[in-house]
Structure 1
Amino acid sequence: MKKKLFKNTFIVGLISVAGLGSCTKDFERINTPPTSVTTVDPSLLIARVLRDGTFQESGELPNNKFGSWIQHWAGGPVVPVSRYFEGPENLIWSQHYTLLRNIVQIKQELSGKEDNAEGRSKLAIAELYEAYLYQRLTDLFGDIPYSEITKSNKEINRTPKFDKQEDIYPALIQKVDAAIARLTSGDLSYGSSDFFYKGSIDKWKKFGNSLKLKLGMRMRYANPALAQKTVTEAMTSTVGLFSSNSDNAAVPTYNDAQAENQNPILRQMTTGSADLRYLANTLVDKLKEYNDPRLPLLAEPVNVNGTATYQGIGVSLTDNQLSQLIRANYSTANKSTWFSLSFAPIPSYAFTYSDICFYKAEAALLGWGATSANAQTFFTEGVKAALALPPYNMAAIPTSYEPILSLNSLTDEQKMEKIATQKWIHLFGRDMEAFAEWRRTGYPRLTPGPNPGSTNGQIPRRAIYSSEEAELNAANLKEAAARMTNGDSFLSKVWWDKK
């Protein structure tokens, strides 16, 4: 069989990391292209995969697509999908399968070393990040090719079936469990090519168990029994979860390098469209309502009728509303922090301690591996960790903000709304994850923009399959689309989306 997702050869262009720049010693070494297209140093590949996989979640396109749907960013006419007009998601689909193709190459390079110190833990790290990418991809689209993807560059299957998401999730949990078990302290690792942890196998163990917690919680409303089992195992595992911001999975960025090495949000300002730099009114208004200490560091102040204020633009506006918009009256991301070349470089985050604290707070409410009495502590710690991240850099939660975080005298559902809303704020700049969590929890409560688009004014629930996939793998794609309530459209829900 032939398969479109993987080409017959792995050309240098797919695995070289010229985009990483050469501003640091590590980047210079990684930039050196391999001398052979058949044998590639796995360290070169893992660097490319971690860097690109992290950067691709943020930046101009995802910010003004998924980021506008969950009302962090305003979007605009330059990105029609931000106004609910349907279109295939070609770039993100192809980007993910390119990353996954490179992970296949890593596995090939480590073939025969799976059970020894030279390759065992390297393989496990690659498989953990592979599971991370597959979860992100299936969360965006629903059913995707998984079990029949090409396992090598010698046998190409161009027409893989689309696995059901409800089957992919248990398979990913098994993959994560197996990878954690394979990780062995003292093994060789990727060293400085590992942008997340500089080769620390113990930190990758925490990453794996934290990913398991995330996988379990995502299924909460779709498969409660498996969700509870998975979450409880992760919460009580001796491997541990992220326990501080030092465990965050992040890629360093550089303001004085090529634009490709800047934080993707900064690059949105330096190389992107001037019309796509504005924040959504929902985010700005929520920060103002809370008197949130992040507001002056996240949003750019504007002068309206002689008064300094913060003001976001409504999402999915009509043509008439857009024609009357005076953009000078609205806030972009802050030009002294997120949009500043002189501010200390802000890492690009893939997975954080705050994420885990919020999951733990939710698990505590459910009694999954913790008791409800722990929920407040976990929740508060999550916000504290979020405030400590750049560009906010706060050592503690301001006393004036503490009442906003109190869970006292609330129902469990009201507590869940508070937890999910703080997570939504924290996930600014990580729009694929924010989109997934909003769909899963239903919080914060969002009102669609006024432009009807292709959805009759409803906020999209998923991305549409690649048009190339529709052409080359038509039968399998149509079969997957037929399983959806509304076909391959913005309004079909993925399996776990029950809100």
Structure 2
Amino acid sequence: MRFRMKKRLILLSILAGSLQFSCTKHFDELNVDPNQASEAIFNANLLLPSAQWKYVESISGYNSVLFQSMWIQAYASTSTGGANYYSNGDKYVLSNNTLSYLDRVWNNAYNAASFAYEMEQLAKKKGGMSNLENIGTIMQIQSLATASDVFGDIPYSQALQAKTGNITQPTYDTQESIYKSLLTRLETAVTALNANQAAPTNDAFAYKGNIGQWKRYGYSLMLKLAMRLTKADPTTAKTYAEKAAAGGVFTSVADDAYVMADLTNSYTNANASALATAADLYQLRWSKTMIDYLKSNEDPRLGKIAEVPAAGLAANQTATGGDNTPANQLGLPNGYDLSGGATDITKAPNYPGATGTGNDVTPLGKYSRPTNVFRNQSGPLFVLTYAETELLLAEAATRGYTVTGSAATHYKNAVSAGLQSLAKFGTTVAIDAATADAYATAHPLVAANALKQINEQYWATTSILQNFIEAWSNWRRSGYPQLTPVNYTGNFSSGSIPRRELYPTGEGSLNPTNYKEAASRLPNGDVWTSRIWWDKQ
């Protein structure tokens, strides 16, 4: 893995430097430097880890920790705007860098799609690389689906064609047409994967080019995209969920799709970086919503992921370990501050009191924060997991779709897998299979409450694995967990949890006609509260 990371460092410095833009005119500026390797000798395999790395950058770091992690009440913060950037998420209040953060999902998702597209085209030209070609299609689909999930209508049919088609102002396709195209293309690409053909040689996933696992990844992605449509297009949702289940999705935690970061070679885990400073350590806590959920379910993850810092302000601003005792964990309620007014945390119901004495006192001292494993800048960045897949199969079975196995069995598998996947963060938080299985057996699916139970578990699992955009997307689709929004003074969403992100700031000037048309199709225009196509009430 470290060897592959070094390759990625070299490759990104050569190929990605010109792609750090929010505007659509730079979608495909790859391999245009005459001093670089020509297509005839360049190994298309080298583009795969770049596509994978740029994708995980699109779903991690400040662009998700500062927004979605607190929109869905996994994390909470007393930050109050201005330079205190966590106000974006906890209170839906602008900070100095809000507009900069908004560009990051768009930039990185299209960067990832550009690398994948270039890889696909190069593999096609060279011949004998059909698996790499189809994996390129799959990675484009993953990236563009995420961009559409975050923004709604996006450039799709004319995207990635700045070089080959000289299209620098692409039209925005409707999300409905995008999703239907993505599912069709995905079916073709996954079906075409062939273990008898050459495998990719520079895979940043733990698959190491294993085509069987890539095939399961493709079908699991198909299942996820299909289930996005349960309200917007139930017929398409059922058709493709059943195709995915029949094709063969993930079968164990060994199939989890994730990328290990590599701080030594400058591939920093952006989620960990967003929790690293003294201010981050002090201001960011687990939300009361999350801690209460884990406590009420006696979830063994609680004692692994949360700690109460040692008493006092200084201890709350350092990474020194705290108290992991599950019974002592306490979540910070969202929407409070340290400003001394009516929304000061000391006015919160059941406020537990401060810790420390004299000048070393802190009102936040008894609230739980993430443990040190989440600050490991060489830690894992999750893309799609067996636990998510089993939860989606459990929901599919609950909805009456034709899938092998009962909803109860899939739910049990998912609960156990969600606990076991924590081991990717390190041995200190690992939960062994026997413990995970025993817990899952003791906490079965209740048929009368199935959709709520399944999707609350999906929220908890994806949030704990730090995939906050996925947790937010599934919350918007399913409505679970049922969250009480924050209505803080000066918020940008009228006291509602945001349903989408705004289009990047450059789109209005660099692609004005198409941007305006796309914005006009949104229910309330280009605002935080407009629901995208699949986000139905």
- The normalised TM-score by structure 2 is 0.80
Contact 1:144 1:164 in 2 (8 A): yes
Q: Residue type of the partner of 1:353?
A: Y
Q: Residue type of the partner of 1:184?
A: N
Partner residue in 1 for 2:320 = none
1:348 match: secondary structure: strand
* 2:352 maps to 1:352: no
Counterpart selection for 2:493 from 455, 478, 499: 455
Once the two structures are superposed, the pairs formed by residues 186-205 of structure 1 within 5 Å of their partners are 186-205=196-215
* Structure 1 pair 270–435 and aligned structure 2 pair: CA distance change class (3 A): same
Residues 213-263 of structure 1: CA deviation (Å, up to 9, x unaligned): 1111110010011111111121223xx1100111111112346x25x4354
- The normalised TM-score by structure 1 is 0.85
* Structure 1 pair 100–192 and aligned structure 2 pair: CA distance change class (3 A): closer
1:251 match: secondary structure: strand
Counterpart selection for 2:261 from 253, 256, 259: 253
1:192 match: secondary structure: coil
Identity of aligned pairs, percent? 27
Counterpart selection for 2:45 from 23, 43, 46: 43
Q: Residue type of the partner of 2:374?
A: W
Deviates more, 1:149-158 or 1:68-77: 149-158
CA shift, 1:289, in A, is 1.8
Distance between the aligned counterparts of 1:102 and 1:272, measured in 2? 36
Distance between the aligned counterparts of 1:69 and 1:45, measured in 2? 34
Counterpart selection for 2:243 from 227, 230, 233: 233
Residues 342-361 of structure 1: CA deviation (Å, up to 9, x unaligned): xxx64221111111100110
* Structure 1 pair 402–179 and aligned structure 2 pair: CA distance change class (3 A): closer
1:476 match: secondary structure: helix
Distance between the aligned counterparts of 1:322 and 1:348, measured in 2? 34
Distance between the aligned counterparts of 1:212 and 1:379, measured in 2? 19
* 2:27 maps to 1:25: no
Distance between the aligned counterparts of 1:400 and 1:326, measured in 2? 38
Q: Residue type of the partner of 1:281?
A: K
Partner residue in 2 for 1:362 = 395
Contact 2:452 2:481 in 1 (8 A): yes
* 2:311 maps to 1:301: no
Partner residue in 2 for 1:54 = 56
Q: Residue type of the partner of 2:113?
A: L
Q: Residue type of the partner of 1:44?
A: L
Counterpart selection for 1:211 from 210, 217, 221: 221
Q: Residue type of the partner of 2:203?
A: S
Distance between the aligned counterparts of 1:185 and 1:398, measured in 2? 33
* Structure 1 pair 445–199 and aligned structure 2 pair: CA distance change class (3 A): same
* Structure 1 pair 291–376 and aligned structure 2 pair: CA distance change class (3 A): same
* 2:162 maps to 1:164: no
CA shift, 1:392, in A, is 3.4
CA shift, 1:397, in A, is 4.3
Residues 147-204 of structure 1: CA deviation (Å, up to 9, x unaligned): 1113362433222111110111110011101111321213223223343421111211
CA shift, 1:424, in A, is 0.8
Once the two structures are superposed, the pairs formed by residues 122-161 of structure 1 within 5 Å of their partners are 122-151=132-161, 153-161=163-171
Counterpart selection for 1:385 from 394, 417, 431: 417
* 2:120 maps to 1:107: yes
Deviates more, 1:292-301 or 1:52-61: 52-61
Distance between the aligned counterparts of 1:119 and 1:135, measured in 2? 25
Contact 2:155 2:170 in 1 (8 A): yes
CA shift, 1:93, in A, is 1.3
* Structure 1 pair 37–95 and aligned structure 2 pair: CA distance change class (3 A): farther
2:501 match: secondary structure: coil
Higher RCO structure, 1 or 2 (CA under 8 Å, sep 6+): 1
Counterpart selection for 1:338 from 370, 374, 387: 374
Q: Residue type of the partner of 2:125?
A: G
Distance between the aligned counterparts of 1:272 and 1:432, measured in 2? 25
Partner residue in 1 for 2:273 = 267
Distance between the aligned counterparts of 1:322 and 1:101, measured in 2? 46
CA shift, 1:402, in A, is 5.0
CA shift, 1:322, in A, is 5.1
Distance between the aligned counterparts of 2:438 and 2:535, measured in 1? 35
Distance between the aligned counterparts of 1:234 and 1:107, measured in 2? 23
* Structure 1 pair 276–195 and aligned structure 2 pair: CA distance change class (3 A): farther
Contact 2:103 2:505 in 1 (8 A): yes
Contact 2:58 2:107 in 1 (8 A): no
Q: Which ranges of structure 2 fall in alignment gaps of 5 or more residues?
A: 15-34, 313-322, 347-361, 424-428
Distance between the aligned counterparts of 2:67 and 2:523, measured in 1? 22
2:434 match: secondary structure: coil
Partner residue in 1 for 2:106 = 93
Aligned residues: 462
Partner residue in 2 for 1:285 = 292
Distance between the aligned counterparts of 2:69 and 2:296, measured in 1? 20
Partner residue in 2 for 1:7 = none
1:250 match: secondary structure: strand
Q: Residue type of the partner of 2:43?
A: D
Distance between the aligned counterparts of 2:130 and 2:436, measured in 1? 46
Q: Residue type of the partner of 2:219?
A: N
* Structure 1 pair 28–458 and aligned structure 2 pair: CA distance change class (3 A): closer
Residues 257-301 of structure 1: CA deviation (Å, up to 9, x unaligned): 25x435433333335842553222211121122221111111112
Contact 1:387 1:396 in 2 (8 A): no
CA shift, 1:467, in A, is 0.7
Contact 1:290 1:404 in 2 (8 A): no
* 2:457 maps to 1:419: no
Residues 284-336 of structure 1: CA deviation (Å, up to 9, x unaligned): 1211222211111111124689x97222222233654358672333221013x
What's the Cα RMSD here? 2.7
Q: Residue type of the partner of 2:260?
A: P
Partner residue in 2 for 1:14 = none
Distance between the aligned counterparts of 1:397 and 1:440, measured in 2? 31
* Structure 1 pair 457–178 and aligned structure 2 pair: CA distance change class (3 A): same
Partner residue in 2 for 1:433 = 470
Contact 1:64 1:276 in 2 (8 A): no
Residues 36-72 of structure 1: CA deviation (Å, up to 9, x unaligned): 1654432222111212312432233311211110011
Once the two structures are superposed, the pairs formed by residues 308-323 of structure 1 within 5 Å of their partners are 309-317=328-336, 320=341, 321=343
Contact 1:235 1:241 in 2 (8 A): yes
Contact 1:64 1:74 in 2 (8 A): no
Q: Residue type of the partner of 2:286?
A: L
Partner residue in 2 for 1:442 = 479
